């Protein structure tokens, strides 16, 4: 036929013909992938999520493919008959002749087959896809993969930021979600956290919850200020628990938005328990804790090969020696690894003195990261003996994270690795 592209299977491929977009129920059904490179790596996640019985046949599968959980990997070349019993197949080798042979066998067995190196000569194509709020969205662009990927990304961004398919008021089932908002930068909240926040009827927000996220909320969303200002005004925990339970019982979907992670000094479990005991459905969405993220944003790894094998995150809510303190400061002073102190700025001198008394070298590097990940971020580098005076002199204020250990002196630009080798 004039204008057609000959196919090795005897069919003619028609570039102008549209594909028929369909969803396949692959639960428990055999899917065979021939090849074990990067293309297969990219497909395994969505195939595994479908519940398919996945079989990979490849001469040299990558470590990611070889170690992927729940699949069968056979290390050898493709052989005719490998597609027996399959419902769906993918030809993903770097050898066009092998891929053509796989497509030919699939055609003979009436199995739809994707050909990764030349989609026109397969019998199926993989759409650029995105999953969001129980939606599976696929984009096909008549073989223009760059265009379909671009449109897919635009759809995903629109769903994520709420500009596309914004939930209507009361569209989410009643219940509570405890959402970690991350260290401060609104882009560091998880995808799931942002999706649930966009669906909220009521948001109970902490002081350290990223304020830019609140600005994105629909006008009908009620915002309850649950701030706990250090040494200042604070909403009692019992009142917060009541706000979550009462609003959920009234048929509303409530998001408890916290800074960092709900379970890292966030009283998240207390709120979980209150909801569960009241019979309220509750979802916990982990967040990026500032104990790790703030140092990372300042160029400090809390662990490093050959330097530190331990990280201890410590609350500075109570001073050393306080009758209610659960921290063994003398034991911390004997540690050699990284200490990350949270809520420690106001009592920094007391904490550094306790560590030195416990045996920590006064010249141990210390870094203080103020407003980590946010536009006003700044980093102070000092030593255990001097950091309290230095922080006072530079008017460091909360929120700030204190990192104690050799990693606190790391500097990527100069290649400095603390005092290693000194």
pLDDT, tens digit, 9 for 90 and up, residues 127-173: 888 877 677 888 888 767 788 888 888 888 887 766 676 666 777 89
- List active site positions: 206, 228
- Model pTM score: 0.76
Q: Considering Cα of 319, then 323, then 327, then 331, what sign does the dihedral take?
A: positive
Strand 88-91 versus strand 72-75 pairing type: unpaired
Residues of the chain with pLDDT under 50: 1-10, 13, 420-422
pLDDT at residue 89 in the model = 98
Burial string for 155-178 (b: 16+ CB within 10 Å, else e) reads bbeebeebeeeebeeeebebbbbb
pLDDT at residue 35 in the model = 97
Q: Rounded to the nearest 10 degrees, how much is the dihedral formed by the CA atoms of 386, 387, 392, 396?
A: 160
Q: What is the rounded CA–CA span in Å between residue 119 and residue 97? A: 14
pLDDT at residue 161 in the model = 65
pLDDT, tens digit, 9 for 90 and up, residues 264-290: 999 999 999 999 999 999 999 999 999
Q: Are 288 and 261 in contact (CB under 8 A)?
A: yes
pLDDT at residue 421 in the model = 37
pLDDT at residue 232 in the model = 52
Q: Are 165 and 158 in contact (CB under 8 A)?
A: yes
């Amino acid at each position: 036929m004039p204008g057609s592209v000959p196919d090795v299977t005897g069919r003619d491929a028609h570039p102008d013909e549209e594909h028929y977009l369909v969803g396949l129920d692959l639960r428990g059904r055999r899917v065979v992938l021939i090849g074990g490179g990067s293309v297969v790596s990219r497909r395994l996640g969505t195939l595994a999520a479908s519940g398919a019985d996945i079989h990979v046949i490849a001469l040299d599968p990558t470590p990611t493919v070889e170690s992927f959980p729940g699949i069968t990997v056979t290390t050898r070349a493709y052989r005719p008959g490998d597609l027996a019993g399959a419902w769906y197949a993918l030809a993903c080798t770097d050898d066009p002749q092998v891929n053509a042979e796989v497509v030919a066998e699939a055609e003979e067995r009436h199995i739809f087959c994707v050909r990764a190196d030349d989609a026109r000569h397969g019998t199926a194509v993989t759409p650029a896809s995105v999953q969001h709020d129980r939606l599976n969205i696929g984009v096909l662009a008549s073989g223009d993969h760059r265009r379909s990927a671009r449109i897919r990304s635009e759809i995903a961004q629109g769903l994520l930021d709420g500009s596309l398919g914004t939930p209507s008021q009361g569209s989410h089932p009643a219940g509570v979600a405890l959402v970690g908002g991350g260290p401060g930068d609104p882009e560091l909240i998880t995808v799931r956290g942002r999706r649930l926040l966009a669906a909220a009827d009521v948001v109970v927000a902490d002081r350290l919850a990223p304020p830019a996220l609140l600005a994105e909320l629909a006008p009908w969303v009620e915002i309850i200020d649950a701030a706990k200002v250090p040494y200042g005004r604070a909403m009692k925990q019992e009142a917060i628990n009541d706000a979550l339970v009462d609003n959920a019982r009234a048929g509303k979907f409530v998001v408890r938005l916290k800074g960092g992670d709900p379970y890292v000094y966030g009283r998240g479990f207390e709120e979980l328990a209150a909801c569960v005991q009241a019979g309220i459905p509750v979802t916990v969405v982990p967040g990026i804790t500032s104990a790790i993220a703030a140092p990372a944003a300042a160029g400090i790894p809390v662990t490093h090969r050959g330097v530190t094998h331990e990280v201890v995150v410590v609350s500075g809510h109570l001073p050393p020696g306080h009758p209610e303190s659960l921290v063994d400061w003398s034991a911390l002073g004997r540690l050699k690894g990284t200490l990350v102190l949270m809520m420690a700025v106001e009592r920094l001198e007391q904490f550094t003195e306790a560590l030195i008394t416990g045996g920590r070298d006064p010249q141990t590097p210390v870094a203080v990261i103020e407003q980590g990940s946010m536009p006003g971020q700044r980093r102070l580098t000092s030593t255990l003996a001097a950091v309290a005076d230095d922080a006072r002199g530079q008017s460091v204020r909360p929120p700030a994270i204190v990192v104690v250990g050799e990693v606190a002196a790391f500097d990527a630009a100069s290649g400095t690795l603390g005092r290693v080798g000194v």
